[in-house]
Amino acid sequence: MRYSIGLRVHDSIPGTLKERADFIRAQGFTCVHLALSKVLGKQMMEPGVLTPGLAEAVKADLGGLAVAVLGCYLNLAEPDESLYPGIVRKYTAHLRFQRWLGAGMVGTETGHLPESIVRAEDVEQMDRAADFYIERLKPVVENAEKLGAILAIEPVWHHSIRNARCARRMLDAIHSPNLGIIFDPVNLISAYHTDRAGDTVQEAIDLLGDEILMVHLKDWVPGEEGKLPAVAAGIGRMNFDAVARFIREKKPGVQMTLENTKPDNAVQARKFVEGLLEEE
């Protein structure tokens, strides 16, 4: 089965959405990760801007590229209570827009944890942060259910939903078919424990496999303490064996988008991923 491999639109060449889409398609990609505010301007985060007409205009400019993910990377765990209702409205508007656009899902991350907590591996405080995020997430998922839309969470090692076990707890607590997972293997690998990368990735596959709705693919290189610089797939130290096997065996036809590419290495990264998926 042929896989759908795409790009984040904002990783492509500068230009209009149509110019970027034409370039992405010419490079051999078939889907995109679209963050409206990064491509069309910050005003795109305002709920009133997101209309059926805008969705039709975006689809026309994309020229047949599927929108695997509509990005909405606002922090639902924002500590300022006065900002929370507005954040929920923006998520809800994106979920509604997802349906008009025909996108696969609205995708998001879950907000940075304080570096001091992550560095100290303070499990108690990290768990409290996760529980707070889960409570903040529930109204958004309820709106997704009402709209028939899908929200997908991307766990990141230094965020509120920081690993596969935490993501599993979130899924079980909310228990909604409208909530899924974006699997970014590199984002799960702790900069403090790169030696555990293989176990970390396999744990995510084992615990979250059924709820994984799409895949982000990139690579990593060593960085300073507490940092794990991301680069295009195929030019770092990531071992993709388990990920490729999981996709081949369990996720036929899944959409994948590359991250941290540049216009001059995106095709190389795509061919690297295609090679992984062809191996038996």
Look at residue 1 in the predicted model and tell me its pLDDT.
Answer: 66
Q: Provide the pLDDT for residue 211.
A: 98
For residue 174, the surrounding DSSP H or E stretch is: helix 164-174
Domains in the chain, please, with CATH? 4-278 (3.20.20.150)
The pLDDT of residue 279:
63
User: Is residue 233 a contact partner of residue 193, using CB atoms and an 8 Å limit?
Assistant: no
User: From CA 218, how far away is CA 237, in angstroms rounded?
Assistant: 10
Q: 215 phi and psi, to 5 degrees?
A: -130, 135
pLDDT averaged per 10 residues in sequence order, the chain, 280 residues: 91 97 98 96 94 98 98 93 96 98 97 92 95 97 98 97 98 98 98 96 98 98 92 97 96 96 98 88
pTM, two decimals, is: 0.95
| Ordered alpha helix ranges (H), 9-101 | 17-26, 36-39, 52-62, 84-101
- Dig out the tokens for 246 from the structure: 């999981």
Beta pairing, strands 179-183 & 66-71: unpaired
